[in-house]
A and B are shown apart, each in its own frame.
Chain A
Amino acid sequence: MNMTDQAVAPLLRIADVTVRFGGLTAIDRVSFDVHPGELLGLIGPNGAGKTTMMRSITGVVRTTAGGVELDGVRLDGMPIERRIRCGLSLSQQLVKPFRGMSLLANVALAAGSAKTSSPLKSLLHLSRREELAVAREMLERVGIAQHAEQNPAIQPLGILKRLEMARALALRPRVLLLDEPLAGLNSKEANALSSTIQDINRQGVTIVLIEHNLGEVMRICSRLVVLDNGRKIAEGAPRVVMNDPAVRAAYLGGDTLASAAADQSDTTTACAALGGQHA
């Protein structure tokens, strides 16, 4: 399957992206490709640079070097709204629904992107019948259609996470970026939501999933990219990646393993020195 994926041109290409904040290098020459139809997991321990990576894809953070390409179109220098119009879509970690309107209206607002591309165009369109239909379909896809007419202000986090996802889907994205959608959910909710994510991917939506919940990531992702300290340390099939010593070290605490290795080498040199003395 990977072979066929490689044969097609990547949909999203991250090429040598570097992000520096003053003296701190948050992302250091990271490259990876996202292929059409895949569910790619972007993982790494806290502070690995996952969120910064996501932000440099969406344009919230300016890349110091390197570039992001969506289906051959360079996104560098574009503000976030233009990248969204190019086919990216972002489901944010902090869910921010519009509180003055129903769940359905929230999603319809996103679905109307064709009518809101310019102020003049938006002024000439009144009806939102089609958008409401699309919105209802998206709410069904994420499994919260029964709450469509309700106000987001009274919904629990689990519903709001799905609302956020429905809104991102309503933009008809070519690549859907999910920023820690499972954060803050209990294991049952997280399991259900990741199954929904898997379903959406199977319906043909290319997804990049940033997530802390390794169990669910292992279960649903077809491929993983692992970041640590701003560097890409592994990439590949979930089982292979998780057995990678570098990845294990990063997750279990790089210091212990590295110092263990250092200790080992110290003893060897010490032994050698001793051997030398003996000789």
Chain B
Amino acid sequence: MDYEISLLTTMSISVLFALSLNLITGFCGQISLGHATFLGIGAYVTALLGKAGLPFLATLPLSMLLAGAIGAVVGLASLRVRADFLAVTTMGVGFLFVGIIRQQDWLGGELGISGIGGSGLSKTGFMLLALLSTAAVAALCLYIRASWMGRVFNGVAEDEDTMRVLGIDVPRYKLAAFAIGTALAGLAGALYAHHLQFIGPDSFGFVESVTVLSMVVVGGIGSVPGVVIAAALLSALPAWFQFIGDYKLLVYGGLLFLMMRFSPGGMAGLMSRFFNPVQTSAKGER
């Protein structure tokens, strides 16, 4: 039973993390190849503050705050560069983060931080907390999608120049997407740190960023249910099949490639094509 609880917690955290990237990349169309950085910031904040004696629940908002603040700064890059240049920039931020962590002894350096704990909750309680947070974030995503913010994000993702002609302050919306998305990644990171009770620089590297991006792409960029299902499945796979864990980058990179090549809309796109082959009517009427 312990194993199932642990697996469910892991899956839940992955879903939360993937949803946070989906907000930036899926909703607002800003690609990020360094999203694991914000998972890491959240994890390190909660670990260090926890060691300093702060109660677990008090560290959660601080994790989100710092991750979101740094996320907004990284988001400034999206005001200058677009598409592939933004991908390279965010990738650089990811390497920078890992590079800094490795060199700082007070952050644990290469060895990382172990013995994190004291969430004060039982394993089941922690699982419920993770599931509850993920459900809340999924609900928030659906709400944003249905709000005017979601409509603007949608427009920015498709054609930001036209959005400016409609009087939309595109830079502020992009920063908002980065701030919200990275803050939620910080929340995922905090849960992650307390779940594994050990964090190190390798947990937040490029591989993790590609993994979460492949979850979003496989699910269907922008689709909340698609991303939830894809992230849940893809995070469970390494636990079920040892070789996937061993060849993570190969498997996820391959999936990313195959999806981009054959179904850019992800699973959500496949489904809607399957059930609704001739889609001439406009979607998104609310």
Binding site for B on A (CB under 8 A): 58, 79-82, 84-85, 90, 92, 96, 98-103, 105, 109-110, 112-113, 115-119, 121-126, 128, 149-151, 154, 167, 171
Contact = CB atoms under 8 A, between A and B. Distances in A.
Interface stretch (B16-24, B35-43, B162-170): B162-170
A103 B168 CA distance: 19
18 contacts: A81-B167, A96-B162, A98-B154, A101-B283, A102-B282, A109-B152, A109-B155, A110-B166, A113-B167, A119-B172, A119-B176, A123-B147, A124-B147, A126-B148, A128-B151, A149-B282, A151-B282, A171-B166
A92 B165 contact: yes
B136 interface: no
Contacts, number: 102
Interface string B248-286: 000000000000000000000000000000001111111
Contacts of A79: 164
Contacts of A58: 165
Given A101-B282, A118-B172, A149-B281, A123 B164 contact: no
B280 A151 contact: yes
Given A98-B158, A110-B166, A113-B166, A122 B284 contact: no
A105 B284 contact: yes
A124 B148 CA distance: 8
Interface string B126-160: 00000000000000000110111101101100110
Given A123-B147, A126-B147, A98 B162 contact: yes
B139 to A, nearest CB: 13
A155 B281 CA distance: 12
A128 B147 CA distance: 9
Given A96-B159, A119-B176, A123-B148, A81 B169 contact: yes
Given A85-B167, A100-B158, A102-B285, A154 B280 contact: yes
Nearest to A90: B165
Contacts of B151: 109, 112, 116, 122, 128
Nearest to A99: B158
Contact of A81 (B146, B158, B170): B170
B167 to A, nearest CB: 3
B198 interface: no
B95 interface: no
Interface of B: 143-144, 146-149, 151-152, 154-155, 158-159, 161-162, 164-170, 172-173, 176, 280-286
Contact of B146 (A96, A98, A126): A126
A128 B164 contact: no
Given A115-B148, A123-B148, A128-B286, A84 B167 contact: yes
A121 B281 CA distance: 30
Given A125-B147, A167-B166, 13 more contacts: A81-B170, A82-B169, A96-B159, A117-B169, A119-B173, A121-B148, A123-B147, A123-B148, A124-B147, A128-B286, A149-B282, A149-B285, A150-B282
Given A98-B159, A100-B158, A119-B176, A84 B280 contact: no
Contacts of A98: 154-155, 158-159, 162
Contact of B167 (A101, A126, A171): A171
Given A81-B169, A84-B166, A96-B159, A116 B152 contact: yes
A105 B144 CA distance: 17
A162 B167 CA distance: 19
Nearest to A148: B282
A128 B166 contact: no
Contacts of A84: 164-167
Contacts of B286: 128
Contacts of A151: 280-282
Contacts of A102: 281-282, 284-285
Contacts of B154: 98, 100-101
Nearest to A131: B148
B174 to A, nearest CB: 9
B148 A125 contact: yes
A275 to B, nearest CB: 64
B148 A116 contact: yes
A62 to B, nearest CB: 15
Given A80-B164, A123-B147, A123-B149, A118 B169 contact: yes
Contacts of B285: 102, 105, 149
